Structure formats: C-alpha cells, structure tokens
Amino acid sequence: MGNLIKFILRFRGFILFLILEGIAVTLLSYNSHYQQTQIFGALQAVQSSCYEFAGKVTAYLALKDENELLLRENAKLRNMLDYYQSIENAPGAARVSSVEGKLFSYTPARVVSGTTNRQNNYFVLNVGEWQNVFPEMGVATDNGVVGIVVNTSAHYATVMSLLNRSFKISARIRRSGYLGTLMWDGRSYREAILAEVPQHVMVEVGDTVETSGYSAMFPEGIPIGTITSYEIKKGNFHEIRVQLDVDFKKLRHVNVIKFMHTAEFKELEQALPAHQNTQQHNE
Amino acid sequence: MNKWLQSILFALTMVAAQVFLFNNVQLRGLLNSLVAPCVYIFYLLMLPMGISKINLLVVSFALGLGVDFLSGTLGQNTAACVLIGFIRPSVVKRLVSKEDIDKSLRPSIYVLGMYRFLAYALVLSLAFHLALFFLEIFTFYQTGLTLLRALLSSVAAIAIMILLEIFFEKRDKRYR
C-alpha cells in the first residue's frame, strides 16, 4: 500500500495529465452535432446573441456589396415574375402545375457567426425552429449552395458549411448532365472538388457545376461553381476542381430551403433495398 | 495590482482576443485554411517558471476548456492545452540550467534571450498546433497538409507573441 501511494505521488503529474487528457478526449467524442445542441443549447443562445451583436456591427462594413447583391437578386426575381405572368396570360398556355404544386419554399436568414479557416467549418443563422427551420434543410444564396442545417434551437440554426470535410452533395455538370459528388478538400475557401465523374465524360474548363436535385435538400439547378481544372486520378474517375461562386467570407444573407415533401421522400427512400449501399441522399 | 488578479485578467484577455479576434482573422486564398494561429497559449507559455506541475496542468485544462466553450470546438483545445502543460516543465528544464531558474520569473524573451525563447515557443506551439489540428480532422489522411498548417500557424502565433511581448515590455522591465 505504501509503495502504491509512493508511486502515485511520484508520478502524480503524469497521472493528472492522463486524467485531464482523458476528460478532454471524452468531451471530444461528445462533440457530435446532436450532443452539441443537447449540452450547449443554452450556451449556444448566449453565444449566438453575442455573435449577433458583433455581426450587426460588422454588417455595416459589407453594406455596399450586400446592396448590390440584393439589387441583382431583385432584378432576377422580377424577370422571373414577368416570365411567369406572360405564361399565365398567354392563351391556352399551361398553368403552374396543380398536381406538383409548390415543391420548395425559401426562408431568408442572416449569418450571425461562422468560420472559414478551419477544416470543419460551420456557421450560425438567425432563424430556428420558430421559423420552421429544421435539420437537413439546404442553405443557399442566389449565387449557389452554401451548406446544410445540422442543428436547430428555438431561434438559431447551425449550418454545416460547404467548407467542411464532412460535406458532400450530389452535383452535376450542367452541360453534359453527368453526376458527381461535390466535396471540399480543406485547402482553399474558394475551391471545391467534384469527384466520381467517370473518366469518359468530356469535361471542359469553364463548365458550370450545379445541384442535381437528387436529394430532398436542394432543388435542381442551383449553381455551385465553374470548373477550373481537372485531372484523372487513380482509377477511372476525374478529379475536377470547381471554383465556388459563393465567397464564404462575405456570406451574410442566405435562404434556407424547405422541401415540402420531405417525409414522403424519406419514406420512399427508406423502403429501397440496400439503402445503406447507395449514395445517401443527405450526403 | 494583486498578482493573482493580474494573472486572471491576462488569461481572460487572451481568451477573448483568441475567440473574438484571432479566430476571425481572414487571409487570402490558400493561406486562409493554412494559417489559424492560437495565440492564447501565450498565457501558458508565460506562467512563472516555478509553477508546480499540478497547477500548470489544471490551469492548462481550464484555459483550453474556456476557449473550447466559446468557440464550439469541445475538447480540441482542452486536449492540446493539457498536452503542452505536461511537456512545458521538461522544455524549460532543458533550456534553463537549474541554478539560473528564478522561480518568480516568466520565461520571456528578456529572461531567456531571443534564441532560447524562440526554441521554447516553437517547441510548445508546434506541439500544440499539431495536437489541435490532428484532433480537428481526426485522420492521418493528407498528413502533409496538417503538418504544414501546424507549422505555418505556429510561426504566425510566435510572431504575434513576440509583438505582444515587446508591447508589454514595461511590465517586466524591473527583471532585467
């Protein structure tokens, strides 16, 4: 017994080190999206309001760019409105499909905090469950995809940024229609990788990459970026570098995209055999 | 001012500076994801040389936990801080001979001299950033990228630490 106590006293520094390191690693393992809200729900609210204040102050610095962006978006929407009005007023023209109805709805939101310089980046939006924002909804700006909601509290939502090593969505090359998986390689905040495009597909620098619509999160055809280079990696696939249209450092106003038939879509997808082996829709 | 109060204030300042300033520094292009310096470990580096191993570990743990809470990276900073809290005494022992250790002094540039301070800061901040970045991505895939991130971030952190040191020189002039 005496020896044991002597041993502990002699190595107390090392033992304490092991204990504290153990606690730290345990905390690390709790750091999933889910537990994070569970444990830090309250903290997140405090933190978010801090960041919201900071965001309010810094927002003024970006007003000019933001205004320009909004103007452009307005113009685009007006064009679309005109287009649809003209269709509707044309004699004998097809009406908006009453069967399909409205598929996606958009909730405007403001980014209150976020990072771009980590390997796994997240940002927080000022909308939450009270605004009908829930996990697994897509987030995009007019320029393109920015992330996926992973967590929500009453008034805030945490979004996994496209600049995250776990972020994967199905994307396609607009011109040829070929599908691939879009992900981030952790390097530049302006570039992502489009992988899993078969080698035989003709790829050209300058081609637009957009969402494929093969998921319940993003409608078809939301732009992501343009191809800057491509090479053939080991195997039969291209590795395509995509210049992102969205500048994540200037991210301020975004839209949360709600798919109206999520439950129905999921039910069908779950009924598929070998669901685990296919590409998961939420990747 | 009370020595303890001063130290606590220093810690809080470093944590706040890290969370609200250094974590938000934005650089151009590729550098943005390569340079993410954690300057707050300056506090751990600057604790008096005579601090006991146990106290040092507890302080490291608390500091890391504080930063983790505020930046939403539960556990990463804590683990890395505890690691450098553990290796700091042996690094100090190798750089300063036993007779020279004045227990109330901080291992600053003025006490260690530029070269020894650089060695001291580089070893600890490299260890810290390596631990932090490997814990962050939790994979050895693209190890080269992670090593580069750790190296560049360490260099940036040390540069800022030296500036801080020069800026707060007055505080320690009496020791020279």
Rounded to whole angstroms, the Cα distance separating B33 from B30 reads 6
- Asked if residue A76 is part of any domain, the answer here is no
Q: Which residues contact A191 (CB under 8 A, 6 or more apart)?
A: A185, A228, A241, A242, A243, A244
Average of pLDDT values for B131-145? 84
Section A224-250 average pLDDT:
86
Measured CA to CA in angstroms, residue A40 lies from A137, A150, A218, B63, B176 at distances of 21, 14, 29, 18, 46
Q: How far is A187 from chain B (nearest CA, A)?
A: 6
CB contact under 8 A, A24 and B79: yes
Domain assignment present for residue A173? The answer is: yes
Alpha-carbon gap, residue A213 to A216, rounded angstroms? 8
Provide the whole-model pTM. 0.65
Q: What does the pLDDT read at residue A96?
A: 46
Computed over every residue of chain A, the mean pLDDT equals 80
Tokens (6 digits) for A252:
């301020």
- Residue pair B82/B64 in contact (Cβ under 8 Å)? The answer is yes
Does residue A68 lie in a domain region?
no
A87 occurs within a structural domain: no
Q: Using the 8-state DSSP alphabet, how is residue A130 labeled? A: G
Position A16 in a domain: no
CA distance B40 to B157: 9
Q: A8 pLDDT band (50/70/90 cuts)?
A: confident
CATH number of A183's domain: 2.40.10.350
A181 within a domain of the structure (yes/no) = yes
Whether A73 is covered by a domain: the verdict is no
Domain that holds residue A195: 168-248
Q: Which range (A113-117, A127-131, A133-137, A184-188) has the least confidence?
A: A113-117
pLDDT tens digits along A13-64? 888 998 998 888 888 877 656 545 544 455 556 666 666 777 677 777 777 7
Which residues on B lie below 8 Å from A16 (Cβ)?
53-54, 57-58
Chain B nearest-CA distance from A214, in A, is 28
> What ipTM was predicted for this assembly?
0.81
Tokens matching residue B26: 């934005």
| Within a domain: A149 | no
Q: Residue B75 class from Cβ within 10 Å (0-12 exposed, 13-18 middle, 19+ buried)?
A: buried
Detail the DSSP E strand segments found in B16-163.
Answer: none
Determine the distance in angstroms separating the CA of B35 from the nearest CA of chain A, rounded to an integer. Answer: 8
Contact flag B136-A188 (C-beta cutoff 8 Å): no
Say how many domains are in chain A.
1
Q: Which residues contact B149 (CB under 8 A, 6 or more apart)?
A: B33, B34, B35, B36, B129, B133
User: Are B74 and A23 inside 8 Å of each other by CB?
Assistant: no
Q: What does the H/E/C string look like for B99-113?
A: HHCCCCCCCCHHHHC
